[in-house]
Amino acid sequence: MAGIRTPALATAALTSVALLSQTANAAPSTDDRPSLEEVEKKVDDLYRQAESATEKYNAAKEKATKQRKKVDTLLDDVAQRAQKLNDAREELGTYAAAQYRTGASAPDTATLLLADSPQDYFDQTQLMGRVTDRQKGAVDDYFADQAETMKKRQEASRSLQTLTDSQNDLRTAKAAVQKKLGSARALLSQLTAEEKARLAKIEERKRQEAARKAAELAEQQAAQAAAQQESAGSPDPAGTGTSTSSSSPSNSPSTSTSTSTSTDSSYATKAEKALAFARAQIGKPYVWGATGPDSYDCSGLTQAAWKAAGVSLPRVTYDQVNAGTTVSLSAAQPGDLVFFYADVTHVGIYIGNGMMIHAPKPGAYVREESIYYDGESSIHSVVRPA
């Protein structure tokens, strides 16, 4: 679904101090304006809040879509039941008319048969005897269907109210996103060229630090992999050419290693497909609420990537984080999902070496980036989805 995009990258989305309040702990400058670092934090916070609102929008949209399908199904069912009742009413009318013509019942039988509350009719023994089993069965079916139809109508009415509530939530979430992005654009409009240049340098220092942390993680993971490989293929320490587990093949390391290798291979095959899809989206714009194919938000990209690998993920980040097995950051493998922030409002796809592919935020494009792009403390968890 198309959304609203800011016209500039994150480095350009930083702003005029005139609209920023001085923080309690910040030392005021000579003109009582916050520092550029504070300006950057303010705009970054706006984008984070917009992304949080985007996930709420996505959840409300998904709920509204499901509720609409449910309502449509219920209304179709009610319509079919109503037609069935009309047909049954005509059949009952035929029975009643026939009885009246033949004198088999009192003249008011037709009215009693078609009444909304027929119980009094059946309470009269003399009339009960005049109704054939087939006719009585038809009457029983009619009123049973009538009661069920009423229940379905009530259920449809409740579902329509739920749909209205979902649509209201959708509008509220959409307004919240637009407000946050509007605030960011307002700040951007007063940014000077000098401020942009200085803030670009701050951003560059952050990228360099993120790259350094990614390189450290890559070295750590490489060392762990080498140690595991050495342990799995190490010779007998006594030099005898035999292993201590050779007499117990069912519990041998080779058996467990084979099972583990098979599992890893299956996951790696799926992950490769997901990553191939994600790489093909690099350069496409971030658009809040979008699920492709021309643009994505963060969870829309991860959902689409794993769908390409045959794995179905939920729509929003705080559902995706529960759609797999949590692993440690040091054990992260290509294809794993990396989640960010305490409220789990951002996600990317790990590609190895401390790097990921993600749709960062409004004004940016799908790209490869260090998982430390917003600092180590921003990483919430790593989840293996398949």
Digit-coded pLDDT (tens) for 148-168: 777 767 776 776 677 777 677
Q: What is the pLDDT along the chain (386 residues), one digit of tens a residue?
A: 444 444 443 333 333 333 333 333 444 444 555 566 666 677 777 777 777 778 888 877 787 777 778 777 767 777 777 777 677 677 667 766 666 555 554 445 555 555 555 555 545 444 445 555 656 666 666 667 667 777 767 776 776 677 777 677 777 877 777 787 777 777 766 667 887 788 788 889 999 999 999 999 999 999 988 888 888 765 544 444 444 444 444 444 444 444 455 567 899 999 999 999 999 999 999 998 899 999 999 999 999 999 999 999 999 999 999 999 999 999 999 999 999 999 999 999 999 999 999 999 888 999 999 999 999 999 999 999 97
* Residues labelled catalytic: 298, 346, 358
Selection from 107, 116, 122, 108 nearest residue 89 by Cα: 116
Alpha-carbon distances of 267 from 262, 264, 332, rounded to whole Å: 9, 5, 12
- pLDDT for 28 equals 43
Give the residue among 326, 306, 339 at the shortest CA–CA distance from 383: 326
How confident is the model at residue 44, as a pLDDT?
A: 76
Q: What is the pLDDT of residue 48?
A: 78
Rounded to the nearest 5°, which phi and psi values hold at 309? -95, 5
Structure tokens at 7: 């016209």
